[in-house]
Amino acid sequence: MTQIKNRCVLVTGGASGIGKLIAKSCLEQRAYKVILWDINEVNLLKTKDEFANLGYEVDTDVVDVADLDDVLRASKRVKDTYTTVDILFNNAGIVVGKPFVDHSHRDIAKTININTLALMHIASEFLPGMIDQCEGHLINIASAAGLIANPNMSVYASSKWAVIGWSESVRLEMEAASTGVQVTTVMPGYISTGMFDGAKAPFMTPTLTPEYIVEKIMKAVKNNEIILQEPFMVKSVPVMKGILPQKVFDFLAKKVFKVHNTMDEFKGRPEDEAVPDKENLKVGNK
């Protein structure tokens, strides 16, 4: 079992959405230190003040996880101050919802940099410290989109497919070497945080509330669960893909579950709530 009490926790994308709720849960469970990284300085300061009003102190840093130099700078600061991170929630992410041919090169690079490469670079900075102390927990927030192809989500889906493959491979490496480090891969469906505003959840697959999925995540961490898939229908996707011919699966996804129409009316976060970006790409944390 992984205990939060007296542990040093880092949450990326921690200024809002499920990142903020994860941080709150860790504080309530008496983590030794909770560190929040986010690119949105305004939201980060608001969250820090909000937690202070509740009697909690958090360490915050404005970090652009798409910028490797910034990740290395912030990681060095954490290690110089706290030696290592015991529990890492790789949560920061963005979505660009439109046909692939309408993606700019910046859209593609930014999505992959934040949703995929950032998780790898950040884990690379803190896994050695976890291994040295023979314990730690890496939680990678992927997506149900990493399990199924979906029009208007090509780059986002690919970034999450990559996370799932990488995260599971790292888990096997940690287990084979008996490092004591746990790895949990989280694959939620749509969450009502605003990041997917306008998207419509598939048939029989309810949109998750942030509170619900965070409760599930924290339980999975406590119990050292390998994979968390929510809601229930997400668990059925690998099974159906494994036993059905591709054309049959595509028909069911499109005509029965309406997966292919989920992004037809996607809007994303309003411009005034979008996470700032050095290249003015509209993004948002989970």
R_g (Cα) of the chain, nearest Å: 18
The answer to whether 156 is a known catalytic residue is: yes
- Of the listed 32, 56, 82, 156, which one is catalytic? 156
**106 contact partners, CB below 8 Å, separation of at least 6:** 279, 281
Q: How many residues does the chain have?
A: 286
Q: Which H helix or E strand runs over 194? A: none
Report the DSSP beta bridge partners of residue 250.
Answer: none
87, 221 contact by CB (below 8 A): yes
Q: Which strand ranges, in their side-by-side order, compose the sheet holding 59-62? A: 59-62, 33-38, 8-12, 87-90, 136-141, 181-188, 227-230
Q: Which residues are catalytic?
A: 156
